[in-house]
Amino acid sequence: SQKIEQNSEALNIQEGKTATLTCNYTNYSPAYLQWYRQDPGRGPVFLLLIRENEKEKRKERLKVTFDTTLKQSLFHITASQPADSATYLCALSESTNAGKSTFGDGTTLTVKP
Amino acid sequence: DAGVIQSPRHEVTEMGQEVTLRCKPISGHDYLFWYRQTMMRGLELLIYFNNNVPIDDSGMPEDRFSAKMPNASFSTLKIQPSEPRDSAVYFCASSFEGVYGYTFGSGTRLTVV
């Protein structure tokens, strides 16, 4: 069956360090993968999208990699700040139904000052 | 643009009652999605529309749930009759061409007692 797994439910790091979040998937032929941020009581906010033929995408302090051989995406936040504390969700869309995105359960990141 | 607008923000209803959730997508977006989020099941896709036409409703739990999109600027999700297990946060999201990241609304928190 299809499955999307995000590394751990919670990740705690010190301010200034790089946070690395993992999204693994099985039994998907992904067209593209998205990362979202969700704060308590709010809807997810889109951060980055990477296509299956792209290896890496960057936006300011954010970097996403996509390895379709390993079936894994890594999401990095460099020089992390307490304001980066939130839940981060990955979402996969398949080539056969690109409009349908399936979300992982998310990883809650806490950045301590 | 004011973003994706959902109403009501909160809804408390008694079991057996009809519930209607409303969504106004971003102007110009041609994809609209309804998601449901719970602690147990995470963020689940219920149904999505492209150019007002339902494309995939495989996530709709059962016949008690129905969704419509009569025009490009309005969609409804109806639950009739409602049950306590329908309690969740329901999100509407819209996207341009379905591939450029979704913009989520603030959600409707539904409690069925």
- Dump pLDDT digits (tens) for A41-56: 999 999 999 998 999 9
**Contact state of B56 with A100 under an 8 Å Cβ cutoff:** yes
Q: Please name the member of A89, A98, A105 whose beta carbon is closest to the beta carbon of B98.
A: A98
Residues of chain A contacting residue B55, judged by C-beta atoms under 8 Å apart: 99
Residues of chain B contacting residue A100, judged by C-beta atoms under 8 Å apart: 45, 48, 56
**Contact state of B98 with A43 under an 8 Å Cβ cutoff:** no
Q: Which amino acid is at A71?
A: K
Helix ranges (H only) for B26-97 are none
- C-alpha span between B96 and A89 (Å, rounded): 20
Q: How many CB atoms lie within 10 A of CB B113?
A: 10
Task: Identify the weakest region by mean pLDDT among A60-64, A96-100, B21-25.
Answer: A96-100
pLDDT at B90 over 70: yes
Q: How many CB atoms lie within 10 A of CB B47?
A: 23
Please state whether the peptide bond connecting residue B25 to the residue before it is cis, i.e. omega within 30 degrees of 0: no
Judge whether A95 is closer than 8 Å to chain B, CB to CB.
Answer: no
pLDDT band of residue B6 (cuts 50, 70, 90) is: very high
Section B65-84 average pLDDT? 97
DSSP letter (8 states) at residue B36: E
Most confident of A1-5, A26-30, B1-5, B91-95: B91-95
Q: Which amino acid is at B65?
A: F
pLDDT band of residue B1 (cuts 50, 70, 90) is: low
3-state helix, strand, coil in chain A (%, to 5): 5, 65, 35
pLDDT at A21 over 80: yes
Q: Are strands B88-95 and B108-112 parallel, antiparallel or unpaired?
A: antiparallel
Rounded to whole angstroms, the maximal C-alpha distance in chain A is 44
Residues of chain A contacting residue B104, judged by C-beta atoms under 8 Å apart: 43-45
The beta-strand segments (E) located in A27-85 are 30-38, 45-51, 56-59, 62-67, 72-77
Contact between A104 and A4 under an 8 Å Cβ cutoff? The reply is: yes
pLDDT at B77 over 80: yes
